[in-house]
């Protein structure tokens, strides 16, 4: 098991409706050390991939994206959500159905922050049906940019997002992939992934 799978088992809980709650290290309180490990692991998995921008969506993707932006030394852009944004001259607008809030959101980025020259790493906390990530891909394409990769902390492999994105040919990396979770028994089974020796990863600055 990797560090994130262990953290999910020790600190997470499963809610009805197929929701994993990890508020105490990602979705409400942020465990900076875990964010840093997620960032290092995603950077390792995208080794050799040229990236000049990180794109995420507010709010929980921002912490991970900021850590990765620091490692790559590139700008981090977060798409904003609104119930009302329409297509206008000053922003790229797409739409995503929110799995957690059960409503349609407009998702937008102001034009100065996405360009045709951008090779973008899309980052988010969760991947479920792929609505949020597809909206981000759409925004990159509207700007004429290229999606260099998609990095996710927790993929819910029982939902269709991961499968669809891989079939579409995107380089998708998810640190923890949930195969099944049982709300009543509070059990989770993760998809087997190649394990890597992280012992030499400089996870923390030593003072």
Residues 79-118 that bind ligand 5GP (CB under 6 A): 96, 99-100
Query: Applying CB under 6 A, which part among 39-47, 71-79, 114-122, 123-131 lies near ligand 5GP?
Result: 123-131
Site membership for ligand 5GP, residue 172 (CB under 6 A): no
Chosen residue from 2, 9, 11, 27 binding ligand 5GP by CB under 6 A: 27
Dist CA 109 CA 77 (whole Å): 8
Q: How far is the CB of 38 from ligand 5GP (least distance, A)?
A: 14
Query: Applying CB under 6 A, which part among 1-9, 75-83, 129-137, 138-146 lies near ligand 5GP?
Result: 129-137
Site membership for ligand 5GP, residue 127 (CB under 6 A): yes
Q: How far is the CB of 60 from ligand 5GP (least distance, A)?
A: 6
Site membership for ligand 5GP, residue 132 (CB under 6 A): yes
Residues 143-162 that bind ligand 5GP (CB under 6 A): 156, 161
Question: In the structure encoding, which two tokens stand for residue 179, read together?
Answer: 């195969």
Tokens 């329409």 belong to 86
Tokens 């790229």 belong to 92
What's the number of CA atoms in the CB half-sphere (13 Å) around residue 95?
Answer: 8
Secondary structure class of 120 (helix, strand, coil): strand
Dist CA 69 CA 145 (whole Å): 18
Question: In the structure encoding, which two tokens stand for residue 60, read together?
Answer: 């929980």
Compute the CA torsion angle 141, 51, 30, 157 (nearest 10 deg): 60
| CA 105, chain centre distance (Å) | 17
Q: How far is the CB of 119 from ligand 5GP (least distance, A)?
A: 22
Radius of gyration of the chain (CA): 17
Residues near ligand 5GP (CB under 6 A):
19-20, 27, 60, 96, 99-100, 124-132, 156, 161
């Amino acid at each position: 098991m990797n560090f994130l799978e262990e953290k999910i088992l020790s600190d997470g809980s499963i809610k009805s409706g197929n929701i994993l709650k990890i508020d105490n290290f990602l979705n409400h309180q942020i465990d900076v050390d875990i964010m840093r490990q997620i960032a290092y692991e995603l950077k390792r998995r995208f080794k050799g991939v040229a990236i000049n921008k990180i794109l995420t969506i507010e709010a929980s993707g921002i912490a991970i994206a900021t850590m990765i932006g620091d490692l790559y030394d590139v700008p981090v852009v977060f798409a904003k959500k609104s119930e009302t944004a329409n297509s206008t001259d000053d922003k790229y607008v797409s739409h995503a159905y929110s799995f957690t809030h059960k409503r349609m959101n407009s998702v937008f980025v102001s034009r100065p922050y996405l360009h045709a020259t951008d090779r973008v790493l899309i980052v988010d906390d969760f991947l479920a049906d792929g609505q949020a990530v597809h909206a981000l891909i759409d925004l990159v394409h509207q700007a004429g940019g290229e999606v260099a990769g998609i990095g996710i902390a927790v993929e819910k492999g029982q939902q269709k997002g991961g499968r669809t994105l891989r079939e579409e040919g995107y380089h998708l990396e998810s640190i923890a992939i949930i195969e099944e979770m049982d709300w009543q028994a509070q059990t989770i089974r993760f998809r087997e992934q190649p394990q890597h020796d992280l012992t030499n990863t400089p996870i923390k600055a030593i003072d």
